[in-house]
Each structure stands twice: as C-alpha cells, then as structure tokens.
Structure 1
Amino acid sequence: MPQFSVTWPTRPGGVYSQFVHATGPTEAVRVAAELDWPTSPGYSVAFDYEPEVWILRRPYRLRSRHVQGPQFSDCDPNQLAFTPIPATT
C-alpha cells in the first residue's frame, strides 16, 4: 500500500503533516483526518482548509510527487506562502 503525506495548515500559523498508508489520495485524507494530531499548545489543525497530499516513493527526493490540494510549502516560487487566519471564538 502506498505511503502519503497529508498536510493541513495550523492556526495561528504553520502547517502539520501526517504520514499514512492508503490506496489513494482521497483515502489518505480520510485516514489522516481520523488520527490524533499532536499539535503544540495553542495551535489547532485547520481542517476547514483543503489539505496538501503527496505520494511518497523512495528515493523520496526524486520520486515523490504532489497529487492533490494546494501546496502550502514554499516549493513553488510562483505561489504565495499560505498563512491561515486565527479562529475566532
């Protein structure tokens, strides 16, 4: 079963990734959403945003590729870095 990296933004800032085994990107998002996300105190995962999904293949640097969602990292120089807005209570 392939391994995926599923990344959601966190509030008040940053991103957090989980690595899961799944049959495809949609199942990877479902499996990752059901996990317990150990975020730092004061941070929460922004599940209301679409996650970034990569399929991971060894060697990771040469064969992994983006398969779904936006790219939150600064890997794409033509795309602005993502900054989530803090949730209001």
Structure 2
Amino acid sequence: MWGYFQPNDVVIAADSERRDYAPSGMNHHHFCGRCGCSTWSKTPDWSAMDETGENQTQRIAVNLWLLDDVDVRALPVELLDGRNQW
C-alpha cells in the first residue's frame, strides 16, 4: 500500500543499504539493498498537470507497510482502476 505526499512533507531516514534507480528519468525509485523491498519513489504528480499538459510538481510515494507504529489496515484506501480510468 502506497501513501502519496508532497516532497516537503516527508523525511526519509535510510541507512547505507539503500539502493535506487531512475529508469525513465521521470521516476526515481528506492529500495532496500538487503531485502530488495521497494521503499519509496519520487515521481511526477500526474494529477497536477497544467493547461499545456506539462507537470512541474513532484510527489513522494511511500511504502506504508514499512512504517513503524502505523496500522496500515486501518487506513482509508482509494482503489484505482488503472486499466480503464487512465
């Protein structure tokens, strides 16, 4: 489950085992170098397009299952239909 945040609202505390990759130049993904778990990503905020179709806004996607002291099962979930609603 992913939580989406503005970049200024997130502080990432990571150790030296963190790895990352940016395959497209737009998305920058981070994962644990020990277990391979995806931890967070910095991506364009596709919902914030301007009138020209350009996007200057970024967002941070955080893997909520990795947070300490958060009951992920109790969080509200917004289901997305990526096949039919893009």
> Shorter-normalised TM-score: what interval?
under 0.3
User: What is the TM-score with the length of structure 2 in the denominator?
Assistant: 0.22
User: What is the TM-score with the length of structure 1 in the denominator?
Assistant: 0.21
Larger radius of gyration: 2
Which structure's relative contact order is higher, taking Cα pairs within 8 Å and 6+ residues apart?
A: 1
